[in-house]
Chains A and B, each alone.
Chain A
Amino acid sequence: MSSSDVARQGQERNARPLSLSGHVGFDSLPDQLVSKSTNQGFCFNILCIGETGIGKSTLMDTLFNTNFENFESSHFEPRVKLRAQTYDLQESNVRLKLTIVNTVGFGDQMNKQESYQHVVDYIDTQFESYLQEELKIKRALHNYHDSRIHACLYFIAPSGHSLKSLDLVTMKKLDSKVNIIPVIAKADTISKSELHKFKIKIMSELVSNGVQIYQFPTDDETVSKINTSMNGHLPFAVVGSTEEVKIGNKMVKARQYPWGVVQVENENHCDFVKLREMLICVNMEDLREQTHTRHYELYRRCKLEEMGFKDTDPESKPVSLQETYEAKRQEFLLELQRREEEMRQMFVQRVKEKEAELKEAERELQGKFEQLKRLHADEKSKLDDKRKSLEDEMNSFSKKKAAAELLQGQSLSANSNIKKDKDRKNSGFM
């Protein structure tokens, strides 16, 4: 930056410019910053949108020079799904946590009206979880694994004519939420002249429909030249391949056809190198920054406004977030209280009903008990009667028996008396 900029900024920020008379040493600050970031590691999330079989996974493999263990998806998905996979990559001393999100089943349904919605929802969910973390009271932002999508590669089918309506609709819905980089997939099916016309057609359609794709930044002098020229090559026509073919005496990534070999890293054959250059080598940090300062802030603003927070109230006086938050909280607490009261009432009601039921049951039981008791008493009295009568019978029987015995005894003694008399008589007679 020139000294005039320094002076201008000094005026803006109420700071006077000062000249140093010796080496202080704070020029090591960028190094300190970089070493801190290296220790923490970096995070980058790419979203690939495109029809099934258009070459998304192959391109990712080619771009990052590894095999991401993808498997082919079927064409019969009922709904668009998103599959996210996270990888830890390392090159020299830089560790990158790369998340690749692929759409599954995009463009396969008969009715594609809802296709873009799932993608939009996914992107919003990532923003939402970051917002939640930021709004927490006890938060850990520097340790947070940032899952917001930093770049969206939109794969355009190489028809050679123009964009499909699904493409236009999807990109229109996404352009305010994510950095869109359109690429023409399987570019080896288009000839050079057709490609040129195709690119012009695509860009003009995007412009006329008001779709804002990601522009590589041109404000920094070190990269503005290369970025401006690359902006003119959009959308990049790419070819992906993980197979290697021997050309000359080197093994290069290429696709072999009977009529020739398409070399992936040959700039005459396709724009793959340009894509890699732009996406990774030159603008990765800018993509992350745009996501954070533009798309995320927009989301945050809309979300908070939706929830009813404002910076200024209808009289244009600044309203603090806390006051609104307090008011909302009070509302919420009142609502909770009301619900609690309702539930309590319901509970009391139920208890009363149950009580009544139980009382009823108790009464019934009591009634039954009484009845049984009565029956029992009846039976008892009956039995008593019977016993009494039995006893009476026994008594009378025993009386009779006693009388009979007495009689018998008497008669016996009479007999014996008679006998004795007889004997006496007999003996007396003798």
Chain B
Amino acid sequence: MADTAKTTHPQPAGRPEKGAEFGYVGIDAILEQMRRKAMKQGFELNIMVVGQSGLGKSTLINTLFKSKVSRRSVMPSDEERIPKTIEIKSVSHDIEEKGVRMKLTVIDTPGFGDQINNENCWQPIMKFINEQYEQYLQEEINISRKKRIPDSRVHCCIYFIPPTGHCLRPIDIEFMRHLSKVVNIVPVIAKADTLTLEERDFFKQKIREDLRVNEIEVYPQKEFDEDSEDRMINDKIREMIPFAVVGSDQEYQVNGKRLLGRKTRWGTVEVENTAHCEFAYLRDLLIRTHMQNLKDITSSIHYEVYRVRRLNENNTHPSDQPNGHSNGVPTHEVLSHEM
């Protein structure tokens, strides 16, 4: 029989300098062990890009990951083929940088917003995201399960807003309203080189206002800030969303340096220059500082919400509507595609 544990705080006698013979225990070596383990396992990241054709989604992904992630020679160009329905195309890549291996999956959604009647355009995407959660859940509740459950859940959804300069359109609001409850949405203003700085600020303000009025929580969500330090960092980010980005995979000579940019007759837009556009902030947010956080929020919050809803469905009568995060689609059977 075990007695209940009691917590005491003995004086830590370990001295921080490594190599000191006396008094050093070595607990902080666990950081190194974790790093080693993470490097060995590799990482996974799944990004979804959503937006109308021609907004530069593929180019932005190529710019973010500095490689030809979307091979446009394979896909027919956008003018030739507009899909009749929204398709979900998922392509995986293995990339490696300084010993860190990552499996990057980019999920493209050609056909979004391109039809004449765009009602319920968000449904196929919602269905796809829920299917990924379902797959993970099924694997997790197996009796004999894999050592590492392959994670195909969408960690981040980049939503491209066309640079009208006015405000959000109904399709934008509808989409973000439904999907912000199941996935981390990062809205960006596409092709921002068509807006002047004043127009850009006005547009952003309007967008933030629209988001607030419609109670849409985009990433980083206020309710998931863990402590005041987090809140401070995230508040700065929240003041800047949506990021106004310009994408390019071509290099030009500017001031003696080769930089990614878009060359026009009146000047060259430098992609990584923060005075020109906010691509660098987006890249830093997505990759350099908040990547792990995106994955954590997906797995510990969005996935858990899905799981709760799914497991409760078996308990309640099918005619009951699940409360909480509802997606508006009637759930009268326990089938994932109808969620």
**Chain A, 23-50, CB within 8 A of any chain B CB:** 23-34, 36-39, 42
CB pair B92–A32 under 8 Å, yes or no, is no
B138 at the interface (CB under 8 A from A): yes
| List of A residues within 8 angstroms of B138 by Cβ | 320
Q: Is the CB of A26 within 8 A of B102?
A: yes
- Interface contact B64-A34, CB-CB below 8 Å: no
Q: Which of B179-187, B192-200, B212-220, B284-292 contacts A (4 or more CB under 8 A)?
A: B284-292
Are B27 and A33 closer than 8 Å at their CB atoms? no
B329 close to A (CB within 8 Å): no
Given contact pairs A20-B66, A66-B12, A311 touches B142 in the complex (Cβ within 8 A)? yes
Closest to B289 in A: A32
A412 CA / B65 CA spacing, docked (Å): 155
CB of B33 within 8 Å of the partner chain? yes
Given the known A-B contacts A26-B287, A326-B314, are A64 and B98 also in contact in the complex, defined by CB atoms under 8 Å?
A: no
Does B144 lie within 8 Å of A311, measured CB to CB?
Answer: yes
Residues of B close to A281: CB separation below 8 A: 26, 29
| Interface presence of B11 (CB below 8 A) | yes
- Which of A38, A139, A250, A293 is close to B31, meaning CB atoms less than 8 Å apart? A38
Which residues on B sit within 8 Å (CB–CB) of A15?
A: 92-94, 103, 105
Beyond A85-B6, A282-B29, whether A137 also contacts B12 by CB under 8 A is no
When chains A and B are docked, how far (Å) is the Cα of A6 from the Cα of B11? 46
Judged by a CB distance under 8 angstroms, whether B143 is at the interface is yes
Question: What residues on A are CB-neighbors of B5 within 8 Å?
Answer: 84-86, 99, 147
Residues in chain A near residue B31, CB distance under 8 A: 34, 37-38, 94
Of the stretches A170-178, A284-292, A391-399, A417-425, the one at the interface is: A284-292
Give the nearest-CB partner of A61 in chain B.
Answer: B10
Chain B residues with CB below 8 A from A147, complex form: 5
Residues of A close to B4: CB separation below 8 A: 84
Given A24-B64, A284-B29, residue A87 in contact with residue B10 (CB < 8 A) = yes
Q: Which residues of B contact A26 (CB under 8 A)?
A: 43, 45, 95, 97, 100, 102, 287-288, 291
Report if A285-B67 is in contact (Cβ < 8 Å); known contacts: A16-B94, A83-B3, A87-B8. Answer: no
Q: How far is the CB of B77 from the nearest CB of chain A, in Å?
A: 21
How does the 8 Å CB contact mask read for B4-27 relative to A, with 1 for contact and 0 for none?
Answer: 111111111110100001111111
For the complex, give the distance between the alpha carbons of A378 and B291 in Å.
104
A19, B67: Cβ atoms closer than 8 Å: yes
Q: Distance in Å from the Cβ of B306 to the closest Cβ of chain A? A: 12
In the bound assembly, the distance between CA atoms of A329 and B313 in angstroms comes to 14
Contact code string A310-342 (vs B, CB < 8 Å = 1, else 0): 110000000011100110010000000000000
Interchain nearest-CB distance for B161 vs A (Å):
24
- Select which of A14, A68, A79, A325 is within 8 A of B314 by beta carbon: A325
Q: Check if A17 sits within 8 Å of B26, measured CB to CB.
A: no
Report chain A residues within 8 Å CB of B84. none
Contact B34–A33 (Cβ < 8 Å): yes
Interface residue? B28 (CB, 8 A): yes
Q: How far is the CA of A381 from the CA of B197 in the complex (A)?
A: 119
The answer to whether A6 touches B101, judged by C-beta atoms less than 8 angstroms apart, is: yes
Interface assignment of B116: CB less than 8 Å from any CB of chain A: no
Q: A89-B10, A89-B12, A321-B143 are in contact. Are A94 and B27 (CB under 8 A)?
A: yes
Whole-angstrom distance between the alpha carbons of A284 and B24 in the complex? 16
List of A residues within 8 angstroms of B115 by Cβ: none
Given the interface contacts A90-B12, A138-B308, A304-B143, does A25 sit within 8 Å of B287 by beta carbon? yes
Q: Once bound together, how far apart are the Cα atoms of A301 and B146, in whole Å? A: 12
| Given A15-B103, A20-B65, A283-B33, also A1-B40 (CB < 8 A) | yes
Assembled-state Cα–Cα distance A29/B44 (Å): 11
Q: How far is the CB of A325 from chain B (nearest CB, A)?
A: 7
**Contact flag A33-B3 (CB < 8 Å), given A66-B11, A92-B28, A277-B26:** no
Query: What is the distance, in angstroms, from A300's C-beta to the closest C-beta of chain B?
Result: 8
**Chain A residues in 8 Å Cβ range of B307:** 137
Contact check, B66 vs A280: say whether CB atoms are below 8 A apart. Answer: no
In the complex the two chains form, what is the Cα distance from A29 to B39 in whole Å?
Answer: 9
**Residue A233 at the chain B interface, CB threshold 8 Å:** no
**CA distance in complex: A286, B68 (Å):** 37
For B304, list chain A residues within 8 Å (CB): 138-139
Report if A13 contacts B (CB, 8 A). yes
B173 to chain A, nearest CB (A): 30
Residues of A within 8 A of B40 (CB): 1, 220
- C-alpha spacing A93/B96, complex, angstroms: 29
Most buried by B among A22, A24, A284, A326: A24
Name the distance in Å between A203's Cβ and chain B's nearest Cβ.
Answer: 26
**Whole-angstrom CA separation of A2 from B179 in the bound complex:** 39
Q: How far is the CA of A321 from the CA of B140 in the complex (A)?
A: 10
* Structural contact, A284 and B287, CB atoms closer than 8 A: no
A residues near B142, Cβ cutoff 8 Å: 311, 321
Query: Is B93 touching A16 in the complex (CB atoms < 8 A)?
Result: yes
Q: Which of A87-129 contact B (CB under 8 A)?
A: 87-94, 96, 99, 101, 118, 122, 125
What's the nearest-Cβ distance from chain B to residue A151, in Å?
13
Provide the A51-84 mask, 1 if CB < 8 A to any CB of B, else 0.
0000000000001111111000000000101111
Question: Is the beta-carbon distance between B13 and A65 smaller than 8 angstroms?
Answer: yes
Is B317 in the interface zone, CB < 8 Å from A? no
**Would you give the 0/1 interface string for B325-339, flagging 1 where the beta carbon is closer than 8 Å to chain A?**
000000000000000
Given known A15-B93, A20-B65, contact A91–B34 (CB-CB < 8 A): no
Give chain B nearest CB distance to A145 CB in angstroms: 9
Question: CB < 8 Å: which of B14, B36, B42 contacts A222?
Answer: B36
* A66 touching B143, Cβ below 8 Å: no
> Is B30 an interface position by the 8 A CB rule?
yes
Q: B301-317: contact bitstring with A at CB < 8 Å (1 yes, 0 no)? A: 00010011001101100
Q: Which residue of B lies closest to A98 (CB)?
A: B27
The verdict on A309 contacting chain B, using a C-beta distance below 8 Å, is yes
A122 to chain B, nearest CB (A): 5
Query: Can you give 28 contacting A-B residue pairs, CB < 8 Å?
Result: A6-B94, A14-B92, A18-B95, A18-B104, A19-B95, A22-B66, A24-B97, A26-B97, A26-B100, A28-B289, A29-B291, A30-B38, A32-B289, A36-B296, A37-B34, A66-B12, A87-B10, A89-B10, A89-B27, A91-B24, A91-B28, A94-B27, A220-B36, A282-B29, A289-B37, A311-B144, A320-B138, A325-B314
CB within 8 Å of A: which residues of B?
Answer: 1-14, 16, 21-31, 33-40, 42-43, 45, 64-69, 92-105, 138, 141-145, 147, 150, 226, 283-284, 287-293, 296, 300, 304, 307-308, 311-312, 314-315
Q: Across the A-B interface, give the 8 residue pairs with the lowest CB-CB distance, nearest first.
A: A15-B92, A285-B33, A32-B292, A281-B26, A91-B14, A22-B66, A66-B10, A27-B98
